Amino acid sequence: MQENTNENMEANYRKFIQRIVETESVWGLTHDDTWATSSSAEYEDAEVILFWSNADGAKACAEDDWSDYKPESITLVEFLENWCVGMYGDQLLLGPDWDASLVGREMEPLVVALDVVQELKHKGKTIEFTQYDSQDEFEEQVIEALEGEDE
């Protein structure tokens, strides 16, 4: 079994970003409009909403408490605009591509959103936002929000 070192978790996270940019879709586990969440291992009283870069990753975690949950996909735009921004507002963390033993990184959703935008730029891709005039405007607002946290 592979150890979940910081290096492995970073590599796994990079793959998550690359795959969701490539496919323009993100996967979660849902049951009756409820999305799979986990308690944070890093922060007391924090919740982590889990997302995967493919259906198989999500399906591998659909056991025990989540045995009734099914993989569901959302578009990359919906993930960025509704989930990442909304989770930031609700002070929730994002768990990208956690493994079947529910181990993985816990990320600030806006950091993930910014990494996605950077990867889109790197790939020369532009996606159509519905709540923002452009990908650049979305990026600017995410950066402003993150910089506001530092003050």
Q: Where are the domains of the chain?
A: 6-150
What DSSP string describes 121-147? HHHT-----SSSS-HHHHHHHHHHHHH
pLDDT of residue 4: 56
pLDDT of residue 19: 98
The pTM score is: 0.92
pLDDT per residue as tens, the chain (151 positions): 345 578 888 999 999 999 999 999 999 999 998 999 999 999 999 999 999 999 999 999 999 889 999 999 999 999 999 999 999 999 999 999 999 888 899 999 999 999 999 999 999 999 999 999 999 999 999 999 999 876 6
Q: Which residues contact 29 (CB under 8 A, 6 or more apart)?
A: 35, 36, 50, 58, 61, 62, 66, 69, 70, 71, 72
Residues 17, 76: Cα–Cα separation, whole Å: 11
